[in-house]
Amino acid sequence: MAAPASDRAGGAAGIRVAHGSPSRAVALRVEHLATPLGIDAARPRFSWQVADTRPGARQTAYRLLVATAPVLLHAGKADVWDSGVVPADSSVDVTYAGPALAPRRRYYWTVCLWDLGGAAAPCAAASWWETGLMGEAWRAVWIAASDAPLDTVAHLEREPAAGPGTVPLLRRGFVVHGSPVRARIYAAALGAYRLTVNGRSVGPGALVPDWTDYRYRLTYQTWDVTRLVRRGDNAIGALLGAGWFASRMGYSSRRYAYGPPPVRLLLELHVDYADGHEEVIPSDTAWRAAASPVLVSEIYDGEAYDARLEQPGWDRPGFDGRRWHGVVAAAAPAAALQSQDMPTVQPVAEVRARRRWSPAPGTYVFDLGQNIAGWARLVVRGPRGTAVRMRFAEVLGPDGRNVSQVNLRSAKATDTYVLRGGGPERFEPHFTYHGFRYVEVTGYPGVPGLPAVTGIVARTALSETGRLVTSDRALNRLWQNILWTQRANLYSVPTDCPQRDERMGWMGDAQVFWRTASYNMEMAAFGERWLADVRDGQTAAGCFPNYAPDFIGDRSCGAPGWADAGVVIPWTVWRHYGDTRVVAEHWAAMERYLAYIRDSNPDFLWRHGKQVQFGDWLPAGSTKSWGETNTDLIATAYWAYDLSLMAEMARAVGRDSSGAAYRRLFDRVRTAFDSAYVQADGRIGAAFVNPDSVRTTYTQTAYVLGLRFGLVPDSLRAPAAAHLVDDIAAHGWHLTTGFLGSAYVLPVLSDAGHDSVAFRLLAQRSFPSWLYEVDHGATTVWERWNGDHGDPGMNSYSHYAFGAVGEWLYRYLAGIDEDPGSTGFAAIVIRPRWTAGLDSVSAAYRSVRGTIASAWRRRRDGSVAVAVTIPANTTARVELPAAPASVIAAPGARLEGVREARSVYDIGAGVYRFVVGP
């Protein structure tokens, strides 16, 4: 490697830039986030991408500088930390190693790179992150509205106060003496909050703080309010709602599952002045409280808002709050407060209503044309006191005209707005969300036009990183449906569904979908945060739970395929993002989990026995929700899978001897699996016990798990795959798989050389199949293959588990994959697949190292044109399904050899075009 032009003594200023060098660091991230505000990481991790369009471009060294002011960086000075010139190509998760960071401080950083020729590039445009409280003690106290009746509403007609009852307003005036240069709010709630300063909203954020197990963990947020405070009189206002803390949640419909009322707020406003002094306005008993116009607002049921109760100016200075009530100091929760280390839930897009009709006089139904999660904005004008009601639904009833909420179980999903009168009014609810495509409006004064209702898409605002377009419209719709379903289920935790009275962090759904999810969006920070919830849910015995966060305290052992998310997801985050810290943080919990399985299953077959099991949940064509695959077989397969992932992850955290031990244990479980479930002819199955009969079932899922998890002896892999194909054929080229089997069936078929069968299943349009849903108008992925299975309470139309086929679309169809020995797409594999009936596929994935693209297009002469884009600082292996003689290779691509009838080329960064002869 060329020696970098190092000049430590001269600081960054001493770095002389090679003239015209295009190599530069861009997309700077700290803890996976662009410019995070208020994070507590003591040793934050830095990542960047190398912008260099020269073929084969690589980074050979870097130097990272951290300073307290951007001017210092411009002058090449790092008064906090200078990594020195590090001769390495690292660009992902480079860990801070400077002195301890101060709380509430903005740090600026840049990184300077050296290219292959040893030339220094201009340093990156300075970026920053800001520390949070870093464990500093809060000066504020927790406050809640006092119990005194709140007279502003006492005389008005109200809905019976369901659950947490009044959603209070809290306010406090304060004076700013002098010119503030910086102002921050640090805030947390047991409940959910919306803040204003001088009447202007602080955000973006809705449904903050995130949902965690509030007994153990609670996030606080940092908001930059510098531009909202001003010299002189100011006011701060808070609206405090139920959130996940106080709303009824889950099957028990219990409110306050994490602790007793009241909902409460903790807040500090820090105002910094030019002369360096600081003033803190904390939540304390000087605040005042009143009832708000929000009569009730809960996650499942929706919101009732009476605009007649608005008190204009309540959150501005000069408001007369004498008739308001006092607040009380409330008990501080035992939970550890931690910084918000990922985007909050917030509105991210709007969807205009496409159609509107009136199924009955006074009733209007709006159709967004897309199933979303979020809420609706209502625009209305009419007499004071008019109550407009919106009911949200994913589907229409049997008449095709009226909305149907039959699949929401007990969730009311209804927002009511009472007009203040006298002008145009706009309403959006504050502390609820719905999964819906249709909105039924009643009580509207007059006839609402289409713009009266707009869909607001809200979710944890992770950025989207994937794109896939093919020549097949139905396939494109399937891909969009998968993405929309993901968008609908990121509500600070990965939820199973966004509409019914469930919306829980179900772990089986998440683990099968996580790889697809990680192509679609930047999932690393979200994964790290949710895995903390998973750890919080681990039992004393070591079991991971079925869902996280927990909220009923049942602490039962999670089922095979569900609890295993506690191992599969860290592995996926590590592989996709090169994130080793997630493995380190989760390692002890994973070890405890595997020790628990090992201790209770001495013969190396995992028998989960009478504890709750979901089998291969919701398979096509079975009358049983858990399917017909033997549950011990599923459990043992997952145990082995976990062990193989542990063996791999051990290398990420430098635990080679543990890795070897897990590998040995894997071998024993595999041997036990083979003798129990794999026949000499390659069939895989086991007794399936029904109440009335016992028979041996050889299900598609049994083959899929055995093959996918590497449990079948090499000599039997081809016969086992052939049995799988036979079974699919016997079902008329249909699947019988549920949540678990469906996730891997196409990858297993492709890996076994049966691409044509994979394509055939993907192209299948009759039930059950992915395109059956598309043909039946799905705009999101359904919970059940047929969308309707008798029990309407189990018909979610926005359930991502079967969307796990997205992984095959990215990794196999477009062929954007990674070498098994690499993480974070450092060593890329491009292995596209084509088939008759499909003319083109084009996909791109913005990885942590930059955008990877793969596209193929069939040409008139029958040849296939392939275009590949590889980001700087990575290498790739391109595998094309033809002999080298029929490939016109891109200049710069080096033929490495021929593997399994594929020509294999090595390439570096750049854009490469190949033509594969007919």
Please list the active-site residues. Answer: 502, 783
Q: Which is nearer to ligand BGC, 793 or 892 (CB)?
A: 793
Instruction: Among 192, 497, 597, 829, indicate the residue that binds ligand BGC (CB under 6 A).
Output: 497
Binding segment for ligand BGC among 163-171, 344-352, 505-513, 877-885 (CB under 6 A)?
Answer: 505-513
Which residue type, as a one-letter code, is found at position 136? E
Q: At its nearest, how many Å lie between ligand BGC and the CB of residue 619? A: 12
For ligand BGC (CB under 6 A), the number of binding residues is 9
Q: What DSSP letter does each residue of 653-683 carry, written as one string?
A: TT-HHHHHHHHHHHHHHHHHHHHHHB-TTS-
- The residue assigned the tokens 């997630």 is 582
Q: How far is the CB of 399 from ligand BGC (least distance, A)?
A: 27
Give min distance, CB of 615 to ligand BGC, in A. Answer: 9
Q: What angle do CA 652, 657, 663 make, to 5 degrees?
A: 85
Distance from C-alpha of 500 to C-alpha of 772, rounded to nearest angstrom:
23
Cα gap 417→386, rounded to integer Å: 8
Structural tokens at position 476: 């494109």
Task: Please state, in angstroms and rounded to a whole number, the distance separating the CA atoms of residues 616 and 625.
Answer: 8
Query: Does 506 contact ligand BGC by CB under 6 A?
Result: yes
Residue numbers 94-113 binding ligand BGC by CB under 6 A: none
Stretch in the footprint of ligand BGC (CB under 6 A) among 185-193, 504-512, 595-603, 656-664? 504-512
Cβ-based nearer residue to ligand BGC, 496 or 773: 496
Nearer to ligand BGC among residue 441 and residue 565 (C-beta): 565
Q: Among residues 107 and 551, whose Cβ is nearest to ligand BGC?
A: 551
Which helix or strand (DSSP H or E) is residue 239 part of?
Answer: strand 232-241
Residue range at the interface with ligand BGC (CB under 6 A); choices 234-242, 500-508, 769-777, 869-877: 500-508
500 versus 846: smaller Cβ distance to ligand BGC: 500
Assigned token pair, 636: 């043992």
Closest residue by Cα to residue 577 from 521, 642, 530, 659: 521
How is the beta sheet containing 466-470 ordered, strand by strand? Answer: 466-470, 840-847, 850-858, 864-870, 910-916, 887-888
Residue that the structure tokens 């300063």 belong to: 197
Residues, the chain, total?
918
Angle in degrees, CA 506, 511, 512, rounded to 5: 110
Does the protein bind ligand BGC through residue 544 (CB under 6 A)?
Answer: no
> Is the bond preceding 498 in cis, omega lying within 30 degrees of 0?
no
Pick 497 or 771: Cβ nearer ligand BGC:
497
CB of 462 to ligand BGC, least distance (A): 21
Under a CB-based contact definition with an 8 Å cutoff, are residues 10 and 76 in contact?
A: yes
Cβ pair 580, 95 in contact under 8 A: no
DSSP string, 884-912: GGGEEPPTT-EEEEEETTEEEEEE-SEEE
The binder of ligand BGC chosen from 115, 130, 306, 496 (CB under 6 A): 496
Cis, bond preceding 881 (omega within 30 deg of 0): no
Residues 421 and 385 sit within 8 Å (Cβ to Cβ): yes
Nearest C-alpha neighbor of 281 from the set 173, 202, 181, 204? 173
We find the least distance from the C-beta atom of residue 498 to ligand BGC, in angstroms, to be 11
- The piece of 278-286, 351-359, 501-509, 815-823 that touches ligand BGC (CB under 6 A) is 501-509
Least distance in angstroms from the C-beta of 626 to ligand BGC: 8
The residue from 364, 513, 530, 614 that contacts ligand BGC (CB under 6 A) is: 614
- Residue 306 is a binding residue for ligand BGC (CB under 6 A): no
Please tell me whether residue 478 binds ligand BGC under the rule CB under 6 A.
no
- In angstroms and rounded to an integer, the radius of gyration of the C-alpha atoms of the chain is 29
Of 509 and 879, nearer to ligand BGC (C-beta) is 509
Q: Which is nearer to ligand BGC, 738 or 747 (CB)?
A: 738
Q: Which is nearer to ligand BGC, 222 or 796 (CB)?
A: 796
CA distance 324 to 289: 6
Distance CA 26, CA 711 (A): 43
Closest CA to 235 of 312, 332, 151: 312
Does the footprint of ligand BGC cover residue 604 (CB under 6 A)?
no
115 lies in the site for ligand BGC, by CB under 6 A: no
502 lies in the site for ligand BGC, by CB under 6 A? yes
Least distance in Å: CB of 508 to ligand BGC? Answer: 5
As measured in angstroms, the least distance from the Cβ of 625 to ligand BGC is 7
Closest CA to 504 of 411, 567, 370, 428: 411
Q: Which of 282, 508, 527, 832 binds ligand BGC (CB under 6 A)?
A: 508
Q: How far apart are CA 71 and CA 13, in angstroms?
A: 12
In angstroms, the CA 825 to CA 835 distance is: 26
Give start and end residues of each alpha helix (H) in 85-126: none
Name which of 625 and 851 has its Cβ closer to ligand BGC: 625
Six-digit token pair at 865? 């044109």
Q: Is 771 helix (H, G, I), strand (E, B) or coil?
A: helix
Query: Which of these, 81, 70, 77, lies nearest to 108 by C-alpha position?
Result: 70
Asked if 616 interacts with ligand BGC (CB under 6 A), we say no
CA distance 46 to 322: 51
Name the residue nearer to ligand BGC (CB basis): 256 or 617: 617
CB 220 within 8 A of CB 338: yes
For ligand BGC, give the closer residue by CB, 497 or 705: 497
Nearer to ligand BGC, 708 or 799 (CB): 799
Site for ligand BGC in 644-703 (CB under 6 A): none
CB count in 10 Å sphere of residue 232 = 9
Q: List the one residue out of 730, 695, 696, 724 whose CA is nearest residue 712.
A: 724
Contact pattern for ligand BGC over residues 434 through 473, marking x by CB under 6 A: ----------------------------------------
Q: Does 617 bind ligand BGC (CB under 6 A)?
A: yes
Q: What is the DSSP letter of 514?
A: H
Q: Any idea which residue has 């798989």 for tokens?
A: 737
Give the footprint of ligand BGC on residues 753-812 (CB under 6 A).
799
| Rounded least distance, CB 529 to ligand BGC, Å | 20
Taking the complex as a whole, the smallest distance from the CB of residue 213 to ligand BGC amounts, in Å, to 18
Cα separation of 693 and 706, whole Å? 25
DSSP letters of 465-476? -EEEEES-HHHH
| Smallest separation, CB 801 to ligand BGC (Å) | 6
Piece of the chain touching ligand BGC by CB under 6 A; list 314-322, 506-514, 579-587, 653-661: 506-514
- Under a CB-based contact definition with an 8 Å cutoff, are residues 616 and 642 in contact? no
When binding is defined by CB under 6 A, the residue of 115, 394, 440, 509 that contacts ligand BGC is: 509
Min CB(616)–ligand BGC separation in Å: 10
Closest CB 565 distance from ligand BGC, rounded Å:
10
Q: How many CB atoms lie within 10 A of CB 225?
A: 23
Binding site for ligand BGC (CB under 6 A): 496-497, 502, 506, 508-509, 614, 617, 799
